[in-house]
Copies of this chain bind each other. A is one copy, B any other.
Amino acid sequence: MLKLHTYFRSSAAFRVRIALNLKQLDYTAVPVHLLRDGGEQHQPAYMQLNPSALLPTLEDGTLVIAQSLAILEYLDETYPLPPLMPVDAPGRARVRALALSIACDIHPLNNLRVLRYLKTDLDIGEERRNEWYRHWVKIGFITLERLLAGAPATAAFCHGAAPTLADCCLVPQVLNAQRMNCPLHDYPVLMRIHETCMGLDAFSRAAPDRQPDAQ
């Protein structure tokens, strides 16, 4: 029995929703509203489960797992079909490096708690906050485009002919960038892969606007 603590706009939760759909795993979505009542992620019941007060958290029976990439790897080890990782160590390293380029180098700088710190503690104003956001997306997407465009392993998806962990991370980050009006014309390979992914039901059904808690 899988239970995902999620918020429709959390791009880390979005990564896991994609993987669950790709593997055709049924799960119960438990919405954690990041903005309501000072943020439901700070409530004791959730903090007990995940002391980081971040999303997502996966429960698989009595097992509780935090961190979206740890959850993705767990799902791939425990529910192996279809695989979301290549079988060869070099391929696995490449997929992980692509995923981490997003999960470490872009997303942590632009998530809610950081934007809130920039607003409240540093009081830098909306325009400079948006510049901050777009800056890290730009730096990160330039890197990703180079990694993808130059590589023989890049195909319909980031690595080969089927989705991997890298695609699970890419799509939520592109949707975030679109929502923040980041210019995306300089990343043709990245955007081509994004469109291919969004053409699949497993990806589109995981999107923020398709979640029950988006209402």
- How long is the Cα–Cα vector from A111 to B146 in the complex, in angstroms? 22
Interface contact A67-B100, CB-CB below 8 Å = yes
Judge whether A77 is part of the interface by a CB distance below 8 angstroms: yes
In this assembly, does A132 line the interface, its C-beta being within 8 Å of a C-beta of chain B? yes
Known A78-B89, A108-B105, A109-B114; contact A65-B122, beta-carbon cutoff 8 A = no
Q: Is the CB of B77 within 8 A of A89?
A: yes
Is A174 at the interface (CB under 8 A from chain B)?
Answer: no
Question: In the complex the two chains form, is A104's CB within 8 Å of B101's CB?
Answer: no
Cα A173 to Cα B5 with chains together (Å): 28
Interfacial chain B residues near A132, Cβ < 8 Å: 117, 121-122
The copy count of this chain in the complex is 2
Other-chain contact of A103, B74, B104, B109 (Cβ < 8 Å): B104
Query: How many interface residues does A have (CB within 8 Å)?
Result: 43
Q: A132 → chain B, closest Cβ, in Å?
A: 7
Q: For the complex formed, measure the closest distance between the CB of A185 and the CB atoms of chain B, giving whole angstroms.
A: 19
A93, B69: Cβ atoms closer than 8 Å: no
CA distance A67 to B147 in the complex (A): 12
A192 to B174, CA, bound (A): 41
- The distance in angstroms between the C-alpha atoms of A96 and B71, with both chains bound, is 9
How many Å lie between the Cα of A89 and that of B132 in the bound state? 38
Does any Cβ of B come within 8 Å of A119's Cβ?
A: no
Interface contact A65-B97, CB-CB below 8 Å: yes
Q: Mark A66-99, 1 if CB is under 8 A from B, else 0.
A: 1101110110011000000000011011101100
Chain A interface (Cβ < 8 Å from any Cβ of B): 51-54, 63, 65-67, 69-71, 73-74, 77-78, 89-90, 92-94, 96-97, 100-101, 103-105, 107-109, 114, 117, 121-122, 124, 128, 131-132, 135, 142-143, 146-147
